[in-house]
Amino acid sequence: MKVSEEMMYLRCMAIESMVKTMVLKGTIDNEKLVAAVDEVFPPTTPDEMERYSEAIIYAKYSILN
């Protein structure tokens, strides 16, 4: 099932918030971050996977840099 653009945007914002919180608490391992996101927002298409990955990377490095 394809997710609407609005829903994708909201999910990416939630993912960024979740990842920022995890990074601030000390979790910087990519595999742990991805596993946590996949547990809450399991991607169903390659496009979702790519967008979630971008949100994780953006959030992680916005805190670390």
| pLDDT values of the chain reduced to their tens digit, one per residue, 65 residues | 677 999 999 999 999 999 999 999 999 999 999 999 999 999 999 999 999 999 999 999 999 98
Contact in structure between 54 and 13 (CB atoms under 8 Å): no
What pLDDT sits at residue 3? 76
Q: What is the pTM of this model?
A: 0.91
Nearest 5°: the CA angle 32, 15, 48 is 95
The C-alpha atoms of residue 64 and residue 62 are separated, in whole angstroms, by 6
Nearest 5°: the CA angle 14, 60, 25 is 85
Work out the end-to-end distance of the chain between its first and last CA atoms, rounded to an integer number of angstroms. 36
